[in-house]
A and B are shown apart, each in its own frame.
Chain A
Amino acid sequence: MAQLARKDEPGQAETPQSNGAIRFLRLMRRNRVGFVGFLFVIAVLLLVLVGPLVVELDTKTHVDRIYAAPSWEHPFGTDHQGRDVWAQIVHGGREIIFVAALTAVIATSIAITLGSLSAFVGGKVDALLLGAADVVLTIPQFPLLAVLAGFIKLSNTTSIAIILGLLDWPVLLRAVRSQVLSIREREYVQAVQSLGLGTGHIIFREILPNMLSYITITFILGMTGAMYAQVGLILLGLVPMSTNNWGVMIYLAWVRGAIFFKDSILYILAPIGAIALFQLALVSTARSLEEVFNPRLRVGE
């Protein structure tokens, strides 16, 4: 009598499918700190990408304005040659962020592919890849770069990114590998294995989509690491100083002893602050992104 299947009510009510971008923003909003960080990241990106078209870089020396105090005309004061610091900040972000992003893309891609393969296939492949990661990990980064600088001209930003990327993946690989190891044991992965869906599908369509927030964090860590690495490279003089760059600003300010004088302190603090705040904003954004990527966290209760 009651055998005909009646419609099973769904577990929870679902909000109607609204515009993808609007939903994305709404989901990001749930985590306050994360949302603020997200806005800040957007703001900085706009600043460094669009800003240079609006704010003009001052390249001439103004002897009368060396280390001027902050004013309406020069919000962060001026540097040792009387040039506007604010303008330098605006222009100096693009390259460092671009290199960091590229490095992160390269390092994360390698880490994801090799990490998931290593975790999923296991056995000899796993041992081999872990061994390779350890080898790369033990290579001292800066001395290697110093040696390389002698052979390759490190002026090309892409080549810097590639080299950094090739040095940074081992740490990320281990993180990805352990995450994949835990997901691999989940029942839906086992079920899909018995359906014969193949290693490639399982890694890229079943496991990795569950790791999107994790991958994003990995990417962001890659970026933060790369930004610091760049500053390090610049401070050690391994990279030519021709371009405008927050790292170059730090170097120049440092070399000029800007940290020791009250008047000049903004010159060195501005780029440091820019980098530090940007990193902080990136990390906060990662927290908000976690809710976006995980449908389960979106449920009402």
Chain B
Amino acid sequence: MAPLLTLDGITQVFNLGQNRRVRAVEEVSLSVDPGEILCVVGESGCGKSTTGRMAAGLLRPSGGRVLFQGSDIWQLKGDAYNTYRRAVQIVHQDPYSSLNPVRTIFQALSAPLYRHNLVKDQAEARRRVVELLELVDLTPAHEILGKYPHQLSGGQRQRVSIARALTVQPQFIVADEAVSMVDVSIRASLLNMLFRLNKQLGVSFLFITHDLALAKHFAWQGRIAVMYLGRVVEVGPTTQVINSPSHPYTKALLSAIPEPDPEVTRSKQRIELRSLEIPSLLRLPSGCAFHPRCPVWEEGLCDTQRPPLKELPGGQLVACHVAARKDDLEGVG
């Protein structure tokens, strides 16, 4: 099956003026198949949001290509471009700024329907909007239509954002921390709803989050990509990445996360890193960007040569000299 969306070595360099350039995203290659869920995880500054925006076509890559069904989206014109534009949608993190405060819910949701001639008249638009609201569990839908965003709770606003993304019947949704600013008790409901959309409508997801437990849950049958300082350091099936991580950074992250279970979390083995300082994107370390903090780094190798993404026997890709070699040896021995 050909991938639906492919990020082919995309790079994003932000120019801050005075010759200061931030390489926010560096040669990221990921692909998502139809109906698949890919989670991109990492800490702040790792470039996951920027990657998401490039995937959604909102930011042009400084290098590399974004391919939709095999075609470079920045080369598309006319009908082909319209098809792409409708097929890939984005849902943002902040329920407070993702909806236009001066438009009612009905206006916000009907605009794309009219624009793309998906409905014939206002009556049909109303019916379709009600359908969409029910699809995201916003009931009673009729009462929501005339409201303004500030009259809804955070969780409801996020549902409206998702409904808006669904108006054009997308095949792919980029969810950028879409549930992070919502209460925990509501989060589960939103996540289950997104999962249902994936299963029933076959919508693929690029789910960006800093919460690994959330990523594990949402992408349990999919894949996770871990980013650090602009690069993908590990990517593979969720079960692999979470249960048997290969990259030292992934291992450190997983060991550091507290769990909602006192016995488990208090007895968890923590991995100590060599340094607590996060390098600035303006002055990236030489070789492997993680080496100043890595507990298993090798002098002469990790600080001089940047590790490429290598495939391991388990199916995941890892960018680490040590991890790649270790599994090589284990494969041999």
Chain A residues proximal to chain B, CB less than 8 Å: 3, 5, 7-12, 14, 186-198, 201, 205-206, 209-210, 212, 293-296, 299
Contact B150 A194 (CB under 8 A): no
For window 73-123 of B, CB contacts with A under 8 Å fall at 82, 85-86, 88-92, 94, 97-103, 111-112, 115-116
Whether B147 pairs with A196 at a CB distance below 8 angstroms is no
- Chain B residues lying within 8 Å of A14, measured Cβ to Cβ, are 147, 151
| CB-nearest residue of chain A to B89 | A194
Alpha-carbon separation in the docked complex, A261 to B299 (Å): 94
Q: Are B100 and A210 in contact (CB under 8 A)?
A: yes
**Structural contact, A210 and B57, CB atoms closer than 8 A:** no
> Chain B contacts of A299 at CB under 8 A?
150
Which of B160-168, B240-248, B289-297 is found at the contact surface with chain A?
B160-168
**Separation in Å of the A120 CB from the closest CB of chain B?**
14
B42-79 CB contact bits vs A (8 Å, 1 = yes)? 00000000000000111000000000000000000000
| Chain B: CB-nearest residue to A185 | B97
- Which of chain A's residues has its CB closest to B168's CB? A195
Quick check: B155 and A8 within 8 Å, CB to CB?
yes
Whether the Cβ atoms of B116 and A187 lie closer than 8 Å is no
- A294 vs B56: C-alpha distance when bound (angstroms): 30
Distance in angstroms from B162 CB to nearest chain A CB is 11
Q: Give the residue of B101, B152, B165 whose beta carbon is less than 8 angstroms from that of A294.
A: B101
Quote the shortest CB–CB distance from B101 to chain A (angstroms): 5
Q: List 22 A-B contacts (CB under 8 A).
A: A5-B189, A11-B150, A186-B97, A187-B94, A188-B98, A191-B92, A194-B56, A194-B58, A194-B85, A194-B88, A194-B90, A195-B85, A195-B86, A195-B112, A195-B165, A196-B86, A206-B103, A210-B101, A294-B102, A295-B148, A296-B101, A299-B150
Closest to A14 in B: B151
CA distance A195 to B168 in the complex (A): 7
Partner of B111, one of A189, A190, A205, A293: A205
Between A5, A7, A194, A206, the greatest number of chain B beta carbons within 10 A of the residue's beta carbon is seen for A194
Q: In whole angstroms, how far apart are the Cα atoms of A212 and B161 in the complex?
A: 24
* A192 vs B167: C-alpha distance when bound (angstroms): 11
Q: How far is the CB of A211 from chain B (nearest CB, A)?
A: 10
Whether A5 and B101, one on each chain, are in contact in the complex, defined by CB atoms closer than 8 angstroms, is: no
- In the bound assembly, the distance between CA atoms of A293 and B148 in angstroms comes to 13
Most buried by A among B88, B91, B151: B151
Q: B residues engaging A (CB < 8 A)?
A: 56-58, 82, 85-86, 88-92, 94, 97-103, 111-112, 115-116, 137-140, 147-148, 150-156, 161, 164-165, 167-168, 189, 192
Contact partner, A190, options B58, B86, B88, B150, Cβ 8 Å: B58
Name the B residues within 8 Å of A295 (CB-CB): 101-102, 148, 150
Nearest Cβ on chain B to A103's Cβ, whole angstroms: 28
Tell which of A192, A196, A210 touches B102, judged by Cβ atoms closer than 8 Å.
Answer: A210
Question: Is B97 within 8 A of A9, CB to CB?
Answer: no
Give Cα A187–Cα B165 distance, bound, in whole angstroms: 13
Which one of B139, B153, B165 contacts A11 once the chains associate, using CB atoms below 8 Å? Answer: B153
> In the complex the two chains form, is B189's CB within 8 Å of A196's CB?
no
* Contact pick for A195, options B97, B103, B153, B164, CB 8 Å: B164
Contacts of A195 in B (CB 8 A): 85-86, 89, 111-112, 115, 164-165, 167-168
CB neighbours (8 Å) of B86 from chain A are: 195-196
Contacts of A212 in B (CB 8 A): 102
**Which residue of chain B is the closest to A11 with respect to CB atoms?**
B153
* Residues of chain A within 8 A of B148, CB atoms compared: 295
On chain B, the residues within 8 Å of A201 by CB distance are 111, 115
Q: How far is the CA of A198 from the CA of B82 in the complex (A)?
A: 11
A81 CB, nearest partner CB in chain B, Å = 54
A298 shortest CB reach to chain B, Å: 8
Indicate if the CB atoms of B115 and A196 lie closer than 8 Å.
yes
CB-based nearest B residue for A4: B137
Instruction: List the 4 closest pairs (A to B, CB-CB), nearest first.
Output: A5-B137, A196-B85, A195-B112, A188-B100
Which of A14, A191, A294 gathers most chain B CB within 10 Å?
A: A191
Alpha-carbon separation in the docked complex, A12 to B168 (Å): 30
CB of B54, distance to nearest CB on chain A (Å) = 12
With a CB–CB cut-off of 8 A, which chain A residues contact B151? 10-12, 14
A187 touches B103 (CB 8 A): no
Q: Which residue of B lies closest to A10 (CB)?
A: B151
Separation of A196 and B140 alpha carbons in the complex (Å): 28
B146 to chain A: closest residue by CB: A17
